[in-house]
Amino acid sequence: MRITFLLPSDNLTGGNRVVAIYAQHLAAEGHQVLVITCAPDHLSLYQKALLMLKRDWQGLKNSATVQPGHIALSGVMHKVLNHQGAINVTDVPDADIIIATWWETAVWMHAMPECKGRKVHLIQGYEVWLGQETANKVHAALQLPNMKIAISTDLKQTIEEKLGNLGITVIPNAVDLKQFNAPQRSKQPTPTVGFVYAIGSFKGADVCCRACELARLQIPELKVIAFGADEPANEVPLPKNTEFYYRPEQADLQKIYRTCDVWLFGSRLDSFGLPILEAMACRTPVIAVPIGAAPELLSDGTGVLVAKESYTEMAAAIVAVCNKSAKDWQELSDRAYHKAHSYSWDDATTRLLNLLNTEKHK
């Protein structure tokens, strides 16, 4: 099949990584795949949203140097438009399938004629962050007639609780099991905890930081590791002596996960939470709030779920996991590994193709 993805920009967000992985796997299956992204515009609505969520006021004020995103780095066929604004019909080749990946691209896709492909909306978030005016537009985009796929059950439920039954199918994200893998290991000699650092409050790094500080009252030697795309800032101070990695190479991420006894996920807003699966695939147990895919991945005892924004519960869970016997920790580590490795991007791609082929014959 000829498959076109529409993206508002190419960047290093998790959503773009998902599109890049799907594009790679579909191309490997023999399909003709093209990803179209808008011309770089540091002050587009989409990028303003990301910068505002991160509270990156300097980024809003100044135009930054364009860095290659996941699409450019993936090696898939990639068309970067030479004009600002919406992707229009003249930008898109005829195809069998056209896939929107953000609410604005769903609106642009809706205006495309049938020759551009059957319309699919890959819903990667409930994108209502910028106030009621934007929320109304997002709701209208979600109700457009097309095939709808959400990346987690939590995301589907959140949207349909607001808008009613939209016929959304869930195809969960997976993890690159070649990149994120680890041999069986024991607990670290020094108890070690890690998390993703970000300034934006929606990522919940402040909850993780406070939980680590509180856990240190019972485990003074607790080592803290973090990585992120934001430089540490006073708005969200890291715990003392945190080992921090700024924008680490993708190949180095598994090394970071593998050096931890437990990984934290404290997000206030997330449609999936790929670091949960990445850590689990590297045999690192996860403590998470029930956001995104966390309930689906951890509620069976594979990890630990704690209340939203409760750094006290998260701290108690850190102490409990780090104080487990070597045997009990090993069992929890193995459960995390086997859960993550039970479902791959090959599986997700197969589900996607099966859905597309089933709908084609209706």
- Domain positions in the chain: 2-174+344-360, 192-340
| CA 102, chain centre distance (Å) | 13
If pLDDT is split at 50, 70 and 90, which confidence band does 84 have? confident
* Cβ neighbours of 33 (radius 10 Å): 24
State yes or no: pLDDT of 344 exceeds 50.
Answer: yes
Are both 2-174+344-360 and 192-340 of the same fold? Answer: yes
Q: For residue 210, give Cα distances in angstroms to 236, 237, 311, 319, 353.
A: 10, 9, 6, 13, 43
Cα–Cα distance for residue pair 70/76, rounded to 1 Å: 10
Query: What mean pLDDT is predicted for residues 70-90?
Result: 92
Share of the chain above pLDDT 70, in %: 92
Annotate 269-291 with DSSP letters as a single string.
S-SS-HHHHHHHHTT--EEE-S-
pLDDT digits (tens, 9 = 90+) for 167-180: 999 999 998 898 99
Locate 149 and state its tokens. Answer: 């796929």
At 63 the pLDDT is 44
User: Distance (Å, rounded) from C-alpha 172 to C-alpha 170?
Assistant: 6
Cα(354)–Cα(348) distance, integer angstroms? 10
Q: Report residue 259: phi and psi, to 5°.
A: -90, 5
3-state secondary structure 110-152: HCCCHHHCEEEEEECCCCCCCCHHHHHHHHHHHCCCCEEEECC
DSSP secondary-structure letter at 252?
A: G
- CB-based burial label for 52 (10 Å; 0-12, 13-18, 19+): middle
192-340 CATH fold: Rossmann fold (3.40.50)
CB atoms within 10 A of CB 332: 21
R_g of the chain, CA atoms, integer Å = 21
Enter the tokens of residue 103: 């609410």
Amino acid 62: pLDDT: 44
Task: Look at residues 264, 267, 263, 315 and name the one whose alpha carbon lies nearest to residue 291.
Answer: 267
Element (H, E) at 164: none
pLDDT range class, residue 90, cuts 50, 70, 90:
very high
User: What is the C-alpha to C-alpha distance for residues 284 and 158, in angstroms, rounded to an integer?
Assistant: 28
What is the model's pLDDT at position 200? 85
Give residue-wise pLDDT tens across range 200-259. 888 999 999 999 999 999 999 999 999 998 899 999 999 999 999 998 988 899 999 999
C-alpha torsion 258→264→269→274, nearest 10 = 20
* CATH assignment, 2-174+344-360: 3.40.50.2000
| Secondary structure (3-state) at 96 | coil
Q: pTM of the entire structure?
A: 0.83
Average pLDDT of the chain? 91
Binned at pLDDT 50, 70 and 90, residue 306 comes out as very high
Q: What is the pLDDT of residues 20-31, one digit of tens each?
A: 999 999 999 999
